[in-house]
């Protein structure tokens, strides 16, 4: 069964066609890589899937359900989690509170007007578990503004995982990281459960190609090549449009 299906998806800003008639399927548990040069429309595609942008045309189906008209929060409730290329964290809060806020979003307890959030042991325990997964448990009570860039990148992933998503969208999770930090994130990505469907935008080819089952190559908002990793790498259009850069 397909975890995500895009049908003739298009997005225009005035006369500018950022996404142009893109269709592909992502199967459950698949690792899908979105490739493309700068300005190809990769992040716009993520914004359309997550619900930050409404499509100009076409449909988005999540596990068979058309979610094209749903707002972002309701798509999140149906299992879409994402990270951002530009870090989007609560920098004035502690690391663990960021994860607790992320966990809270999927429960009805987010509407509770009384009772201290910090005193909720259940949320704290599950947040600590996630922080252990991303190896940030040792700085759980540190303020995010005092953490390193690499730690913040991990926290981005931790927050998305705290949502317990069915489909995880990773927007350049390795951007701006050192070689050592990249290795750490690579290990983390490879350890993600196979039941989780992952779509990733990434320019680090060593990590990205090792991670992907299938690849979709975008150019000028159009789907240029779609296929298995080996097929896409071997395709001359891939070399011409992207790998030759």
Partner 1 sequence: MKTVGIILVTAIACILPFLLPGNFYLGIATQILVYGLFAVSVNTLAGYGGMVSLGHAGFLGIAAYAYAVTSGTYGFSPWIAVGAALVIGTAAAAVFGLIALRTSGLSFLMITLALGQIVWGVAFRYTDLTNGDNGISLGRASVISADPLTLYYVCLAVLALVMVLLAAFIRSPLGAAIKGVRDQPRRMSTLGYNTWAIRYVAYLVSGFVATVSGILYVQIFQFISPHALSLTVSSEAVLMVIAGGIGTLFGPLLGAGVVVLLKNVASAYTDRWPTLLGCIFLFIIIAMPEGLLPGSKRILAGMIGSFRKGAAPSASLQPTSRAR
Number of H helices, E strands in the chain: 9, 10
Q: Single out the residue of 25, 106, 166, 222 in contact with partner 1 (rule: CB under 8 A).
A: 106
Piece of the chain touching partner 1 by CB under 8 A; list 9-17, 60-68, 115-123, 194-202: 115-123
Cβ neighbors of 133 (< 8 A, separation 6 or more) are 158, 161, 188, 191
Query: Considering the complex, what minimum distance in angstroms separates the CB of residue 149 from partner 1?
Result: 17
Size of the site for partner 1 (CB under 8 A): 35
The interface mask with partner 1, positions 157-186, x = CB under 8 A, is --x---x-----------------------
Cβ neighbors of 245 (< 8 A, separation 6 or more) are 37
Residue 141 near partner 1 by CB under 8 A: no
As a dihedral over the C-alpha atoms of residue 106, residue 111, residue 112, residue 116, rounded to 10 degrees, the angle is 70
Cβ neighbors of 190 (< 8 A, separation 6 or more) are 211
Q: Single out the residue of 15, 16, 64, 116 in contact with partner 1 (rule: CB under 8 A).
A: 116
Angle of the 121-133 helix axis to the 95-104 helix axis, nearest 10: 110
Q: Single out the residue of 81, 127, 153, 198 in contact with partner 1 (rule: CB under 8 A).
A: 81
Residue 113 near partner 1 by CB under 8 A: yes
Cβ neighbors of 38 (< 8 A, separation 6 or more) are none
Residues binding partner 1 (CB under 8 A)? 50-52, 71-73, 76-77, 81-82, 84, 88-92, 97, 101-102, 104-106, 109-118, 120, 159, 163
């Amino acid at each position: 069964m397909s975890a995500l299906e895009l049908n003739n998806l298009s997005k225009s800003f005035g006369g500018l066609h950022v996404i142009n008639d893109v269709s592909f399927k992502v199967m459950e548990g698949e690792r899908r890589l979105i490739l493309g040069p700068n300005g190809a429309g990769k992040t716009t595609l993520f914004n359309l899937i997550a619900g930050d942008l409404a499509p100009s045309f076409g449909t988005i189906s999540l596990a068979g359900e058309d979610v094209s008209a749903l707002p972002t929060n309701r798509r999140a409730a149906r299992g879409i989690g994402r990270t951002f290329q530009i870090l989007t964290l609560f920098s004035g809060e502690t690391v663990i509170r960021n994860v607790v806020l992320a966990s809270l979003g999927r429960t009805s307890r987010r509407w509770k007007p009384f009772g201290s959030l910090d005193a909720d042991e259940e949320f704290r325990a599950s947040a600590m578990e996630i922080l252990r997964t991303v190896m940030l448990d040792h700085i759980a009570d540190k303020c995010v503004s005092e953490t390193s860039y690499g730690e913040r990148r991990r926290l981005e992933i931790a927050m998305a995982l705290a949502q317990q998503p069915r489909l995880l969208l990773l927007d350049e999770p390795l951007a701006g990281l050192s070689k050592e930090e990249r290795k750490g994130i690579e290990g983390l990505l490879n350890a993600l459960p196979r039941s989780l469907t992952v779509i990733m935008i990434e320019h680090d080819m060593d990590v990205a190609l090792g991670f992907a089952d299938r690849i979709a190559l975008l150019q000028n908002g159009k789907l240029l090549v779609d296929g298995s990793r080996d097929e896409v790498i071997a395709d001359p259009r891939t070399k011409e449009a992207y790998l030759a850069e």
